[in-house]
Amino acid sequence: MPALMAVIGIAVAVADQASKAAVLANLEPGETVPLIGDWFRLRLVFNSGAAFSLGEDYTWLFSLIQLAFVVVIAVVSFRIRHAGQAVGLALIAGGALGNLIDRLFREPGFFLGHVVDFVSVGNFAIFNLADSAITVGVVVFLAAMIFEGEPGGGEPEPGRPAEEGKEQVHK
């Protein structure tokens, strides 16, 4: 599953950065472009905090947390045996990586950068593709946990004994 997860995660981060580049090239900060009336619009803002701009003075901490998420998911990817869980975690990692790139390389500086947000729906917070990937990834992962079982569970690898308390299935 690590290869599948890497492809999905990198694709999400690349798509996120490409969408942000397109918005930065075409909108001024604070500019709003209605797409579906006042309900769905593009609006360029820079967010130094987390969701809903919380913790704006702790950008460096959010950078470290996102970096930790990406590293932990990369390490855990070698234990994942279920496709749904792999896809969910890959979406989370890709979204975290997309926003981490902003925090590392955008103004005002390394580990202090502001995340580019531009999707505005109704009176909800303004967000980006990376945020959407994280949200969808959490939902997919939780649903997969319910329907697929434990992340490292499933049939034991060939040549490895079943875990204690579980019967080995012989075919």
Q: Is residue 8 part of a domain?
A: yes
117 is catalytic: yes
pLDDT over 90 percentage in the chain: 64
Quick one: CA torsion of 91, 97, 99, 101, rounded to 10 degrees?
-150
Asked if the structure places residue 6 within a domain, the reply is: yes
Q: Is residue 149 part of a domain?
A: no
Domain annotation covers residue 69: yes
Q: Is the pTM of this model over 0.95?
A: no
Residue at 170 is within a domain: no
38 is catalytic: no
Instruction: Identify the domain containing residue 47 by its residue range.
Output: 1-143
Are the CB atoms for 85 and 141 separated by under 8 Å? Answer: yes
- Per the residue annotation, which of 16, 38, 57, 131 is the catalytic one? 131
Structural domain contains residue 163: no
Question: How far is Cα 2 from Cα 136, in angstroms, rounded to an integer?
Answer: 19
First to last CA, the chain: 25
pLDDT digits (tens, 9 = 90+) for 128-158: 999 999 999 999 999 999 998 776 655 544 5
| Structural domain total, the chain | 1
Which region among 2-11, 45-54, 65-74, 144-153 has the lowest average model confidence (pLDDT)?
A: 45-54
